[in-house]
Structure 1
């Protein structure tokens, strides 16, 4: 029986207590933002409608700050959507981006220079970069990655946890908002281009001291949770992504956060009825990964994990723990994840509340 490790609403809420989380990227990253916003409020999964909808004025108590349905909705490279969720102890913001470095990205950097600094940045930009701008995408993409990582490193404090997500596996047949008729001829090759782009982006992110979460590796055998467009994923997959991201954040901060292990069937029973998910065919051959060749189904370039014993836990009052133990940040590599070599100073989120420095509706800085 297929099993899944899942983070709970209470764990997510406590781990991100008094934290500012910034999510940057395309429609996959928008769903990452949505699942996190939902989990911070309740123990529920995203509905199919919530996964498909973009640019709405409000999603689960968040607000649309810029773009989306406030302007003309389209599938062009200039589409903008800025969303923000704020509660008494959480701030989560999302920027839709179609290119890793651009004049629009420079305007986002201006927001970061002049405003509140994020505690966590979750980012990916790949599929639009390698399909919509230049047929010879590699050199341009690598140059933009260099400029993005270099500028970001000079803006955010050293304590900010920056997680670069590698792009998830694409299907053999794909369709989506980014795939306009002018670039449809690239569809059959795009899943291989993503693997090459992942190699360069992950290597560069690690070289710049960012953390790298290899979602391509993590989901290479979970293709049954990818929906029929060959690009997007269902609510179960997005909850797994959220759990991976929060588990990685907990480890980087020296927090022991045990995840609940549940059967996929048990979790699927809680999901809304779905007609848009198509199980992947299973074959005995290693070629079962939806056309990916065998050499592409391994995480051949990720670093291994170290097995040193963990340091002793810091003291935290029992009534504040709720399943957490605080430990000094360590330098261990999580399995299948490239990790930064720098330890991060981390404040205890239950004992050092932050002043409110942002408005609740429609404004950010």
Structure 2
């Protein structure tokens, strides 16, 4: 959405390790494969100069180099090796060395459970490795955040968001799933992980964004044919949910249209001047609804 507001295409959703994706740049990637060793790190530094009209040039000037987005694809939330190395810790340290994030959004469930063959321990009501790994990750980031505040690299605490995993279907099929996997059991374990994570997330003072709650009511519309991936509409719904959460958490509040409500007349009036001010700050390619000053309250 920072790039041009247009929804992802099905092809874009499945791409990986591209040199550039919608004006970002690839910082690091392993060879592309479906194994646990895969990793990809990307960076987006704001709108790049590619405006076609004078209006878009003015908009670009406002936003160039105004934000920094970094993305890391990992296959496990915490990856402590016997030799003491830890790929996730190294990635976190690297990506927060120069700038500490104002916002972090993390999701890691499916690969942790499926690729690493983690088991749900009924007697202990937790996963054999995943539960402890998640707690280690959250505590490590929290400690890094305290260091950043003390060193004045960060002015106020980071908005820390854990996004729960969307569901997979009973017929899920993909190169990500191992041949001998029971899809029904995997689906149950994803649900268990989402539910069990709530307490861990809360105890470590992270916010929880329930992606399963957002996508489940429209699963027939949102889920792709393979039962694992999600459609462009689903990604847009999740993006809007993340942005809404950030807006509220930072105190900015949700964006609203300039409306004046008249309860007695039962109508809501859209204020032309304020509405046009919003429209004038949109790029030319964004479709704008025709101005309709009055509509009835429902």
TM-score by length of 1: 0.57
Listed one character per residue, the Cα deviations across residues 61-81 of structure 1 (whole Å, up to 9, x for unaligned) are 1111101xxx42211100011
Higher radius of gyration, 1 or 2 = 2
2-side partners of 1:60 and 1:215: how far apart?
24
Residue 186, structure 1, aligned to residue 182, structure 2: yes
1:189 Cα offset (Å): 1.2
Residue 122, structure 1, aligned to residue 105, structure 2: yes
Alignment of 1:265-304 (within 5 A): none
1:202 Cα offset (Å): 2.2
Quick one: which of 138, 147, 161 aligns to 1:149?
138
2-side partners of 1:128 and 1:238: how far apart?
19
Q: Which residue is 1:219 aligned to?
A: 215
Alignment of 1:157-172 (within 5 A): 157=149, 159-172=157-170
Q: Which residue is 1:247 aligned to?
A: 244
1-side partners of 2:117 and 2:98: how far apart?
33
Alignment of 1:1-80 (within 5 A): 39-67=1-29, 71-80=30-39
- Structure 2 alignment gaps of length 5 or more: 47-64, 80-85, 121-126, 150-155, 258-273, 280-298
Residue 131, structure 1, aligned to residue 120, structure 2: no
Q: Is the 8 A contact 1:55 1:64 kept in 2?
A: yes
RMSD, matched Cα: 2.0
Quick one: which of 100, 104, 111 aligns to 2:77?
100
Q: Which residue is 1:3 aligned to?
A: none
1:199 Cα offset (Å): 1.3
Q: Which residue is 1:230 aligned to?
A: 227
Quick one: which of 28, 44, 49 aligns to 1:85?
44
1-side partners of 2:16 and 2:235: how far apart?
16
Q: Is the 8 A contact 2:214 2:238 kept in 1?
A: no
- Structure 1 alignment gaps of length 5 or more: 1-38, 261-317, 324-365
Q: Is the 8 A contact 2:24 2:43 kept in 1?
A: yes
Instruction: Indicate the SS of the match to 1:256.
Output: coil
Instruction: Indicate the SS of the match to 1:229.
Output: coil
Q: Is the 8 A contact 1:62 1:84 kept in 2?
A: yes
Q: Is the 8 A contact 1:164 1:202 kept in 2?
A: no
Higher RCO, 1 or 2 (CA under 8 Å, sep at least 6)?
A: 1
Q: Is the 8 A contact 1:82 1:93 kept in 2?
A: yes
